[in-house]
Chains A and B, each alone.
Chain A
Amino acid sequence: MIEEHTAASEEVAQAKQAMAASKEGKPTMHIKVYSPFKTYYDETSYSISAVNATGPFDILPHHHNFMTLLSPCVLLIRPLTGRAEQRIRISGGLMHVKADKVTIFLDI
């Protein structure tokens, strides 16, 4: 029962964020960047830029399911309005994109 309530609260919070973003006409997605011992970023954002073996690329909301090995680069994340761009330097990692949820595993 407690889990249902927590899940429902998260859904409500996400819906509120999505509604706020849709008012501005911009779709959003959730981005999480973390390693076994540290979470570097875990927020709803507009987009993320990274580099893989093919070259630089951007991930925007509604992206197709995607899995890639990242090259050493600086991740550029655009958070919701009012926040500065986030830059995270990485030495490599794995990116998993599914249903507007981007997860980046570092130090692997």
Chain B
Amino acid sequence: MSRLQEVAEQQIAMNTIQNLTGVFEGLASMRIAAVKNQVQESQAFFREIWHIYQQLRVDSLFRFGRTNQDDIIKKQLFIVITAEGGFGGDIDQRLIKMMLADFNPDKQDIIVIGHHGALLLIQQHVSFKKYFTLPSRDKNINVRPLVDEVRRYESTAVFYQTYVSLMVQEGKRIELQSAVASQGMAVADKASDEVISEETYIFEPSTYDVVAHLESSMTEIALSQVILDSKLAQYAARFRAMSMAKDRANDLVDELRLTFNRTKRHIQDERLKEMINGIRVGSKS
């Protein structure tokens, strides 16, 4: 009897897990849809600013909004974007491994975003310059402290998780300067026929101030997009984990239902046997 009760309790617990994983799966799917929409909106905004930037004739170098007086550290900056915590599978480990394969402490400095990545680096006795938490919100991410760091270095590479599909997420490395340029590629040709210069425009406060502000803004938007893409991949990883957990819970519920019915049948059979034996004993006497 106690066995039957145990199975019934397990069945209730498993049904709860089944429902919970279903809810988490739904939540992750909603977040994925929302973030994908935001990435698209942000890209349209970025393209329009890039269109203006491409028309400006100052010089051909992208300076991340630096002025000529800024002191530049003659090293490369590695930014690694990882998750804050669980449900991400092994993608963070793979990302850190990918970064460390190219890492030389004399030539590169590391900035980590996300608690999980910081922990993994500490476990491997790799020191990093700074650590930022992964922003919890998906809109208006403040990347200014990160851009300030980017400006101080000669060049920057970002390692992040990218969303390929709902079931596939992979680690990726991009050079920030080429990322900014490649996002504007789509409008580069259109921009070439028009020129914005001091002869055709009035600039306030000055041309260089406007260009520096545009470069700084585009770097911020590019970094925000990389963080958003990373979050999208993390939501997809969670969705995949919850989807697998839900499937497993479904299987377990089926197994428990079978066990419950078998146990119940077994108890009924035992009682029937006892009754038959009792009747036999009674008829003999």
Stretch at the interface among A3-11, A20-28, A65-73, A75-83: A65-73
Complex Cα spacing A53 to B45, Å: 24
The A-B contact count (CB < 8 A) is 62
Q: Determine which of A35, A52, A66, A67 lies in contact with B45 in the assembled complex, contact meaning CB atoms within 8 Å.
A: A35
A64 interface residue per 8 A CB criterion:
yes
Known pairs A36-B221, A67-B210, A68-B210; A105 contacts B196 (CB<8 A) = no
A1 — which chain B residues lie within 8 A by C-beta? none
A-B contact pairs, 13 of them (CB 8 A): A35-B45, A36-B221, A37-B38, A37-B139, A67-B52, A68-B203, A69-B209, A69-B210, A105-B48, A105-B217, A108-B213, A108-B217, A108-B221
Given A94-B210, A103-B48, A108-B220, residue A65 in contact with residue B42 (CB < 8 A): no
| A108 to B222 alpha-carbon distance, docked (Å) | 12
* Contact code string A54-72 (vs B, CB < 8 Å = 1, else 0): 1000000000111111000
Instruction: Compute how far the CA of A34 lies from the CA of B210 in the bound complex, rounded to whole angstroms.
Output: 18
Tell whether A87 is near chain B: CB-to-CB under 8 Å: no
A71-108 CB contacts (< 8 Å) to partner B: 94, 96, 103, 105, 107-108
Q: How far is the CB of A56 from chain B (nearest CB, A)?
A: 12
Chain A contact residues: helix, strand, loop or mixed: strand
B41 within 8 A of A: yes
Which one of B42, B48, B202 lies within 8 Å of A66 (CB-CB)?
B202
Interface size on B, residues (CB 8 A): 25
Q: Which residues of B contact A64 (CB under 8 A)?
A: 201-202
What residues on A are CB-neighbors of B139 within 8 Å? 37
Distance to closest chain A CB from B15 (angstroms): 39
Whether B201 lies near A37 (C-beta < 8 A) is no
List B contacts of A69 (CB < 8 A). Answer: 204-205, 209-210, 213
Residues 197-223 of B, flagged 1 when their CB comes within 8 A of A and 0 if not, give 000111111000110011001001100
Establish whether residues A67 and B209, one from each chain, have CB atoms under 8 Å apart when the complex forms: no
Q: Is the CB of B210 within 8 A of A36?
A: no
Q: How many angstroms from the CA of A107 to the CA of B221 in the assembled complex?
A: 10
A interface with B by C-beta (< 8 Å): 34-37, 52-54, 64-69, 94, 96, 103, 105, 107-108
Chain A CB within 8 A of B54 CB: no
- Do B204 and A68 have beta carbons less than 8 Å apart? yes
| B223 smallest CB distance to A (angstroms) | 12
Closest 9 CB pairs of A and B: A108-B217, A68-B204, A36-B42, A36-B45, A65-B201, A66-B202, A53-B205, A37-B139, A52-B204
Chain B residues lying within 8 Å of A107, measured Cβ to Cβ, are 140
**Would B204 and A53 count as touching, CB distance under 8 A?**
yes
Contacts A67-B210, A108-B221 given: A36-B202 contact, CB under 8 Å?
no
In angstroms, how far is the closest chain B Cβ from the Cβ of A69?
Answer: 6
Q: Please measure, in the bound complex, the distance between the C-alpha atom of A35 and the C-alpha atom of B49, giving whole angstroms.
A: 11
Whether A94 contacts B204 by the Cβ 8 Å rule is: no
If A37-B140, A68-B210, A69-B213 are given as contacts, then 12 extra A-B residue pairs at C-beta distance below 8 Å, sorted by A number, are: A64-B202, A66-B204, A67-B196, A67-B210, A68-B203, A69-B205, A69-B210, A94-B49, A105-B48, A107-B140, A108-B49, A108-B220
Chain A residues in 8 Å Cβ range of B18: none
Question: What residue in chain B is nearest A65 (Cβ atoms)?
Answer: B201
Say yes or no: is B24 at the interface (Cβ < 8 Å to chain A). Answer: no
Kindly provide the distance from the CB of B12 to the nearest chain A CB, expressed in whole angstroms: 43
Q: Bound complex: CA of A69 vs CA of B204, how far in Å?
A: 7
